[in-house]
Structure 1
Amino acid sequence: MYKYLLPLLLSFVISCKQEVPKGVNVEEVVSFLASDSLKGRATGSTDEIKSAEYLAEQLANLGYRPKGDGSSFFQTFTFKNTRDPHKEIEYIDAGDITTTGTNVIGFLDKAADKTVIIGAHYDHLGMGGEGSLHRGEPAIHNGADDNASGVAAVLQLAQKLKDSLTQSNILVMFFSGEELGLLGSNYFVKNPTIDLDKAHFMVNLDMVGRLRKDRTLSISGVGTSSIWKQTLNANNKNFKLVLKESGVGPSDHTSFYLQGIPVLHFFTGQHEDYHKPTDDPEKLNYQGISDIVAYITAICVDLDDDAPLSFKKTKNESEEVPRFKVGLGVIPDYLFDGKGMRIDGVSEDKPAQRAGLQKGDIVIQLGDSTVVDMMGYMRALSTFDEGDETKAVIVREGDSITVDIKF
């Protein structure tokens, strides 16, 4: 009899081992979300729903409980998509001319009096359209860096914090509708499923997949609490940090900042594949993503036994951005901290390309204006109209070059 029971027992043990949830594999998560089969995860699409179901399953496997609508991981919101950035979004009942987005929300209750919130948007541009920088026929915009990288990082962070934090609850969120104007995060803070008065702080990861060789990491929101700079520097082992004060920016942390919650936004920089079909999984720095997760984990653990962070208002840097009628046709290197504006990419058939500008060039003068930083570049650009001609001075491999620009 025992010879028959033993194989059955071994089979049972093996099957139990196979059911144990494995650790979060960042590369696997990105490969799934940025696959052609999901067609770019456009807000309200069936492909976004498939992504939401996948993320809910991942959270369940990590032991997080549903914290969406009712007993669900999902929080849905329906809106008319006006594409008007100056008009406040109107959330309404579903109808023939509406779109429904889906936030994915999980919660780990540590019976604490404060909650750490970590989040990332998981929607992207689908087949292109408004917001895409692709020129040509519609194509799948996989959004590996934007923002499958942030989603994968949040999942790995959720796994690490689960056992590392003992005095803070954890709310994990994946936002829909970010590409249309921070719709999912905006809806959540107006319809929260937890008491936001007990929020410790919010961490947003958006485009963290392209850590460069010099390991430059941009962190925004450091002015939203007096403790941020000290904590970020104390836990930094090997990143070149570019710290930005403002709690307002083009990503979901803004929604939480506007509710009086200290925020941080982690970002590894813009690149030539941004909002194009070429933003693919094989171009990401996966070790870099995991290194960023380890850094954020250390920060959260450091603050675990602190009282909820005090909130500080910051200057809204976006309100100071000059309006301009023309563009040079370049992707600026937002992580560059030297003198001038360094070019990280050049668009086809635009003034910069026609003038012979290249990736890596540093613009130090545009017309009569000296360019010392990004704001100086934008101020200089705002003085020109379409059809104007001027000269630009650039630094290329240490040499100064003057080129003719026609807008």
Structure 2
Amino acid sequence: MKKIVFLAIVSVTLFGCKKTTTYKNEIKEDVAYLANDKLEGRQTGTKGEKLAADYLVNRFQNIGLEPKGSDGYIQSYSFKPKTDPHKEVEFTTNADSTITGRNIIGYINNNAKTTIVIGAHYDHLGYGGEGSLYREKDKAIHNGADDNASGVAVLLDIATRLKIKNEQSEIKDKNNYLFLAFSGEEMGLLGSNYFSKNPTIKAKSINYMINMDMVGRMKADSTLAVYGVGTSPMFKQTLKANNEKFKLVQNESGVGPSDHTSFYLIDIPVLHFFTGQHEDYHKPGDDSEKLNYDGMNLISDYIFDIIVDLDDNGKLAFRKTKNESEETPRFKVGLGVVPDYLFDGKGMRIDGTREETPAFAAGLQKGDIVIKLGDSNVTDMMSYMRALSLFEKGNEAAITIKRGDSIIDTRVKF
């Protein structure tokens, strides 16, 4: 009789102590912290990056994710900064002037054979440096609210929702989930590169990888770019079946300037979500109050639905795609504009111009669509870059733009 009573007490006690996660949308709060001036732009290896890392460790703990780094939630790596931009970075602990970055890694273990990696980079440019497009002489903090506090905030929201889903369901999902906040992205995809070579789970168990980089500036037409759709045969139909809100711009290539590339290169299907560049890209003006939080909520909903939809499809087949980055022409001059990468019409639409540039001197404006440069017709971004590659500094060229319903011919000097 005592044994039965004891078992009953243990059962009640265990049930009463069981941790349950309650949902609270903290996307705005997460961005506000990560993009605050006190983090000084979260440059890899700085005090600000460490503050961001500590914050993410705390958030992972509160969500209830298991630690899956090499030291708790943290996977540290040290590297020697590149002096030759064409060489790979050297990961080392035996050199002077090494920098240490930190990946933050959390895990939901469903005892499944396969794991989905959900990632976003949390580092940015600090006070600017080589990657900055800020041309003033004074130093200024580059807070990187869109790039990429936005992606990290959506990652945390999805982690919370998947944790709750698993707690409330009697049937576990058929995938485990690994949440990866990368550092070193702005220095050359260093954190994801290091993880791909030193994974904290079996690399062959990774089903596919979802990357979110700059998902905070959705425009009024609800355009959402998704890259990597050709890396698995399942992706296109799944994206379409779950889409009710977005004008999707899809790109098949698994290679691009963000962390999904590191996973594609080890034969893992990838999807990268992106709401487009803007005039504050890599400048001090990329601040939290400029983000479209309703749009970020919709993106979180969409990615969550995609993950749920793909759960019973087993391990996805991987497919190599055409590497568009290898076909990109090299050019010696620039027009001085921010292209609208989400434009899917004919030509290259300008999303912003910078002062003291050829475009600004020629009177080009935001919203103009370049349809001819020199003797070359411009039908899309690739043809624009091919046309630009034909010119050198000091050359002049005719340029034709469409502004509203008007066609304007002018000249530009590089």
Task: Give the TM-score normalised by structure 1.
Answer: 0.94
Instruction: Indicate yes or no: 2:195 matched with 1:194.
Output: no
Contact 1:164 1:301 in 2 (8 A): no
Q: What's the counterpart of residue 348 of structure 1?
A: 355
Instruction: Indicate yes or no: 2:129 matched with 1:129.
Output: yes
Determine the C-alpha separation between the residues in 2 that align with 1:59 and 1:230. Answer: 32
Q: What SS does the aligned partner of 1:139 have?
A: coil
Q: How much does 1:198 deviate? A: 1.1
Contact 1:324 1:381 in 2 (8 A): yes
Pairing of 1:232-381 with structure 2 (within 5 A): 232-381=239-388
Amino acid at match of 1:105: I
Determine the C-alpha separation between the residues in 1 that align with 2:221 and 2:162. Answer: 27
Q: What's the counterpart of residue 173 of structure 1?
A: 180
Contact 1:21 1:61 in 2 (8 A): no
Amino acid at match of 2:90: E
Instruction: Indicate yes or no: 2:36 matched with 1:29.
Output: no
Determine the C-alpha separation between the residues in 1 that align with 2:378 and 2:96. Answer: 50
Determine the C-alpha separation between the residues in 2 that align with 1:259 and 1:83. Answer: 26
Contact 1:129 1:138 in 2 (8 A): no
Deviations 1:157-187 (A, max 9, x none): 1111224362210100000000000000000
Q: What's the counterpart of residue 53 of structure 1?
A: 54
Q: What SS does the aligned partner of 2:178 have?
A: strand
Pairing of 1:56-135 with structure 2 (within 5 A): 56-70=57-71, 72-93=72-93, 95-135=95-135
Determine the C-alpha separation between the residues in 2 that align with 1:20 and 1:198. Answer: 27
Q: What's the counterpart of residue 152 of structure 2?
A: 151
Determine the C-alpha separation between the residues in 2 that align with 1:84 and 1:335. Answer: 32
Deviations 1:300-350 (A, max 9, x none): 000111111010000100000000111000000000000000000101100
Contact 2:82 2:88 in 1 (8 A): no
Aligned-residue CA RMSD (Å): 1.3
Q: 1:185 aligns with which of 163, 170, 192?
A: 192
Deviations 1:44-96 (A, max 9, x none): 001101100100110111110111114x1000010011153310111101554
Judging changes above 3 Å, is the alpha-carbon distance between structure 1 residues 308 and 83 closer, same or farther for their aligned structure 2 residues? Answer: farther
Contact 2:21 2:164 in 1 (8 A): no
Contact 1:24 1:155 in 2 (8 A): no
Q: What SS does the aligned partner of 1:130 have?
A: helix
Q: 2:234 aligns with which of 227, 231, 254?
A: 227
Determine the C-alpha separation between the residues in 1 that align with 2:83 and 2:286. Answer: 24
Judging changes above 3 Å, is the alpha-carbon distance between structure 1 residues 83 and 362 closer, same or farther for their aligned structure 2 residues? Answer: farther
Aligned length: 389
Determine the C-alpha separation between the residues in 2 that align with 1:83 and 1:279. Answer: 28
Determine the C-alpha separation between the residues in 2 that align with 1:126 and 1:77. Answer: 19
Determine the C-alpha separation between the residues in 2 that align with 1:129 and 1:218. Answer: 28
Amino acid at match of 2:258: S
Q: What SS does the aligned partner of 2:100 have?
A: strand
Determine the C-alpha separation between the residues in 2 that align with 1:199 and 1:227. Answer: 16
Determine the C-alpha separation between the residues in 2 that align with 1:218 and 1:20. Answer: 32
Determine the C-alpha separation between the residues in 2 that align with 1:95 and 1:44. Answer: 15
Contact 1:78 1:94 in 2 (8 A): no
Task: Give the TM-score normalised by structure 2.
Answer: 0.92
Determine the C-alpha separation between the residues in 1 that align with 2:36 and 2:164. Answer: 31
Amino acid at match of 1:113: K
5+ long unaligned stretches in structure 1 = 1-15
Instruction: Indicate yes or no: 2:218 matched with 1:217.
Output: no
Contact 2:369 2:401 in 1 (8 A): yes
Q: 2:401 aligns with which of 391, 394, 406?
A: 394
Judging changes above 3 Å, is the alpha-carbon distance between structure 1 residues 316 and 271 closer, same or farther for their aligned structure 2 residues? Answer: same
Contact 2:80 2:95 in 1 (8 A): no
* Greater alpha carbon shift after TM alignment, 85-94 vs 40-49: 85-94
Judging changes above 3 Å, is the alpha-carbon distance between structure 1 residues 305 and 36 closer, same or farther for their aligned structure 2 residues? Answer: same
Amino acid at match of 2:176: N
Q: What SS does the aligned partner of 1:146 have?
A: helix
Q: What SS does the aligned partner of 1:392 have?
A: strand
Q: What SS does the aligned partner of 1:192 have?
A: coil
Amino acid at match of 1:26: I
Amino acid at match of 1:148: A
Contact 2:128 2:139 in 1 (8 A): yes
List 4+ stretches of structure 1 deviating above 3 A: 19-22
Q: What's the counterpart of residue 44 of structure 2?
A: 43
